[in-house]
Structure 1
Amino acid sequence: MPKVSYGETPFILTYGTEAMIPVEINVPTDRMRLTGEENEDDLRLNLNFTEERREAAARREVEYKKAMEKYYNSRVREVKFKVGDLVLWENETGRQQGQGKLGPRWEGPYQVIWAGDKGAYKMAYHTGEEVPRTWNAMQLRKYYA
């Protein structure tokens, strides 16, 4: 099947020609009607255009990735916390061992004591002692008291 991102099958990009399935051998198709010499000429012609097909597929893949990035970025809501905000952190990322499916999903509240420019945050326990690692905004949630 042709890949959505680049519009060609991997077989065409690798070998320069369409794959022949066993059904095509028994059923007469345009491809099977060619004589040996005509088939060789067609295969050589396909090989000449293989590099062009690969370049076109690479261009289509870049365009597809840009469209996907634009779609994703248009729907992502950026989360920012300020120093002093109370937050919860995701329990799966904070524990060495999981709590199981019935365990709490969020742990806290903790206070933000440092906010980096790329979404990194340092936290402090309610006693004021600093948590020994940094956290990403994707693993944090605002705590409303």
Structure 2
Amino acid sequence: MGDHTTHKNSTGETLFSLVYGTQAVIPTELMVPTKRIRDFDESSNDEGLRANLDMLEECREIAAIREAINKKKISKYYDKFVKPLSFRIRDYVWCNNEANRAENTGKLGPNWEGPYEVIEISATQSYILAGLNGERIPRTWHATNLKRCYI
């Protein structure tokens, strides 16, 4: 119940209000009367609930807009620290052993295998590799699974 009645930073609303269109009354408010409980008028309550339900869709749209703005802000902050990897043809790279799953060497085994040579760039940050003997590796590799090798 506590999670449903807490205002979320991303939307500015409580989950309960986004579902039912009104704020929930928690048991603590009944024990220790708040202004909202003291000012409660049962006769005008139905009119207020209907008005809140009429405004519910608009409230949800505003919450969705706030959430999108918050997501964009977080993404912008995160992207400041991302260093994009890119390789050129004839660069040497190590491949992440976990991504390849060619051999299960256990916990103490090597995390990287190779070195391999980049022979072709197939798509955005996707590379085709070959071994040092020139034998082509059967699949493409994304840049996040590669690490530059300095030979």
What TM-score, normalized to structure 1?
Answer: 0.90
In structure 2, the gaps of 5 or more residues are 1-5
Please point out which of 4, 12, 18 is paired with 1:7.
12
Give, in angstroms, the shift of residue 30 of structure 1.
Answer: 2.9
* Alignment size in residue pairs: 145
2:87 is the alignment partner of 1:81? yes
**1:121 maps to what in 2?**
127
Q: Distance in 1 between matches of 2:103 and 2:97?
A: 10
Deviations 1:9-52 (A, max 9, x none): 11111101112211122222233332321222322232232222
**Higher deviation after alignment, 30-39 or 48-57:** 30-39
**1:72 maps to what in 2?**
78
How do residues 1-145 of structure 1 correspond to structure 2 at under 5 angstroms? 1-33=6-38, 34-96=40-102, 98-145=104-151
State the one-letter code of the partner of 1:90: N
Give, in angstroms, the shift of residue 96 of structure 1.
Answer: 4.9
4+ runs of 1 displaced by more than 6 Å?
none
Q: 1:26 to 1:119 in 2, by over 3 A?
A: same
Give, in angstroms, the shift of residue 8 of structure 1.
Answer: 1.1
Q: Distance in 1 between matches of 2:50 and 2:32?
A: 24
State the one-letter code of the partner of 1:118: T
Q: 1:16 to 1:98 in 2, by over 3 A?
A: farther
Deviations 1:33-79 (A, max 9, x none): 32321222322232232222111111111111221222222221111
Q: Distance in 1 between matches of 2:91 and 2:102?
A: 25
**2:3 maps to what in 1?**
none
Sequence identity, in percent? 46
Q: Distance in 2 between matches of 1:118 and 1:41?
A: 57
Give, in angstroms, the shift of residue 103 of structure 1.
Answer: 1.5
**RMSD after superposition:** 1.7
What TM-score, normalized to structure 2?
Answer: 0.86
Give, in angstroms, the shift of residue 130 of structure 1.
Answer: 0.5
Q: Distance in 2 between matches of 1:101 and 1:4?
A: 40
In structure 1, the gaps of 5 or more residues are none
Q: Distance in 2 between matches of 1:118 and 1:51?
A: 40
